[in-house]
Amino acid sequence: MKAMSHQPSSTQRNPDRTRQAILEAAFREIYRHGYQGTRMDDIVKATGLTKGALYHHFPNKQSLGYAVVEEVILIMLMTVWDEVKNSDNPLDRIIDVIERLDDYVGEQIFTLGCPLNNLSQEMSPLDEGFRQRIDEVYRLWHEAIDAALTKSRDAGQLKTDADIPEIATFLLGALSGCIGLAKNAQSNQLYKQCGNGLIHYLNSLRT
């Protein structure tokens, strides 16, 4: 029972930083192993904290999982797509994101897939709380794509009869699907092929 006291390493007490560290570690574990495959003990190890500390910040595994959706995945996703929406040429920017996806979100996207889609496919039928939170993220994502396409249409780059909400939904689904294919094949080559199909489709909508 020796005390050992503190090995602060950074600062001595910083609950916000600790909470953030837990969230990021949890995200990484869930991203790699899925929610059900994630062990609380592994998150504890990854943070270098103890179980007591973890359960001080989050009452249980479920609430930690929810927080990962709301505070990690949402921000990562919207960082990319708000930029797309606010760019001068959203349509070209969308195609650029598809073409150079790894530059935007990291190469692991081809081997580990889309974090949101992963969680969605695993947890939606099992946990209504997850489903609703993920659904909300998809809603915001769709909203951003919708705004981006509308901007491009108003700039005269898209056919005026284009059904923007439908295109946004299809783009979202198709992109998720392409990433999913690549993940299973463990092949960014397959992603390129699938992404090219998507780009051809988008170009066919141009004026």
Partner DNA sequence: GGACAAACATACCAACTGGTATGTACAGTA
Partner DNA sequence: TACTGTACATACCAGTTGGTATGTTTGTCC
Burial (CB count within 10 angstroms: exposed 0-12, middle 13-18, buried 19+), residue 61: middle
- Find the binder of its own copies among 135, 154, 155, 206 (CB under 8 A): 135
- Using CA atoms, how far residue 54 sits from 20, 42, 47, 50, 58, in Å, is 11, 11, 9, 6, 6
- Find the binder of DNA among 49, 80, 95, 105 (CB under 7 A): 49
Burial (CB count within 10 angstroms: exposed 0-12, middle 13-18, buried 19+), residue 36: exposed
Based on the shown chain and the rule CB under 7 A, indicate whether residue 9 belongs to the binding site for DNA: no
Residues between 162 and 191 with contacts to DNA, criterion CB under 7 A: none
Burial (CB count within 10 angstroms: exposed 0-12, middle 13-18, buried 19+), residue 207: exposed
Based on the shown chain and the rule CB under 7 A, indicate whether residue 32 belongs to the binding site for DNA: no
- Find the binder of its own copies among 21, 109, 145, 172 (CB under 8 A): 172
Partner from its own copies, DNA, none contacting 50, C-beta within 5 to 8 A by type: DNA
Chain contacts with its own copies (rule: CB under 8 A): 32-34, 36-37, 111-113, 117-118, 120-122, 124-126, 131, 134-135, 138, 165-167, 169-178, 180-181, 183-186, 190, 193-194, 196-198, 200-201, 204
